[in-house]
Amino acid sequence: MTAELEQHIDKARVAAAFGRAARSYEQHNGLQRTSGEALLALLPSGTRASGLDLGCGSGYFLPALAAKAERLLALDLSADMLEQAQKKASILPICADMDAMPLAPDSLDWIFANLCLQWSAAPAAWLRGWSERLKPGGVLVFSTLLDGSLQELAQAWRAVDDHAHINRFITRERLQALLDNCGRPARLTVVDVPLGYSRVKDLLLDLKGIGANQVNGARRNGLLGKAGWQRLNLAYPKNTAGQYVASYRLAYGVIYG
């Protein structure tokens, strides 16, 4: 993997952010529900021997996934998230960094990875490594955010300061190239998902509520202040219905074992 495809992610900071969000996560996970439902439809029908919810979060999809595996594993970086997940279904919880891949090759019939690839420090290794964990005939389904997501919010923040407020997301072209080189048959679909808000504050609360306000680079320190907050609200564009829209560009990928 080339250095340009790697990014520095402070995993301890990410785990802490998601840990703080664990109890409130499902009040704010509208995007995760949308993408997860699409991924469920990509999984094979029937029950297989073993499946993994990779980056399971609070376990919202575990009840549905439990019907698809005799042995259901759930991996997350946050122990607090796993604590919530264990209330949803009978699982084998694994508290670990997904980039460490603490499972043996050829051990899983399917992997469900909903909006977690963007938290990988090495996406090329992630795609290749987790696809190697599939048994022959297995399938990995994943969703991730692409470059262009939250562009309205990024634009509004530029009216406030020059700091990074939005995570850097992979481009469609780069993700396709990584899939082409992961060593397994794969396909990719891209869709745009707009979510409307009556207040900018509600949008930011959703990002904070799912732990996604944690940027993967240098970030602004200190409180925003009243003047900065006013600039942010004035700079954020509205649609014809008067809503503040957060645009997400979602990639759905399928890798075959």
Whether pLDDT at 7 is above 70: no
pLDDT of residue 4: 39
Average pLDDT over residues 202-227: 66
Please state, in angstroms and as integers, the Cα–Cα distance from residue 59 to each residue in 22, 64, 70, 117, 156, following that order.
10, 10, 17, 17, 33
pLDDT of residue 168: 85
Question: Does 186 or 206 have the greater pLDDT score?
Answer: 186
pLDDT tens sequence across 91-146: 999 999 999 999 999 999 999 999 999 999 999 999 999 999 999 999 999 999 99
Q: At what angle do helices 172-180 and 123-132 cross, to 10 degrees?
A: 40
pLDDT of residue 213: 60
Q: Domain ranges for the chain, please list them.
A: 3-150+167-195+249-256
Task: Tell me the whole-structure pTM to 2 decimals.
Answer: 0.88
pLDDT band at 222 (very low <50, low <70, confident <90, very high): very low
pLDDT tens sequence across 191-207: 999 999 999 998 888 87
CATH superfamily label, 3-150+167-195+249-256:
Vaccinia Virus protein VP39 (3.40.50.150)
With tokens 């794969």, the residue in question is 186
pLDDT tens sequence across 76-92: 999 999 999 999 999 99
pLDDT of residue 130: 98
Check: CB of residue 54 under 8 Å from CB of residue 60: no
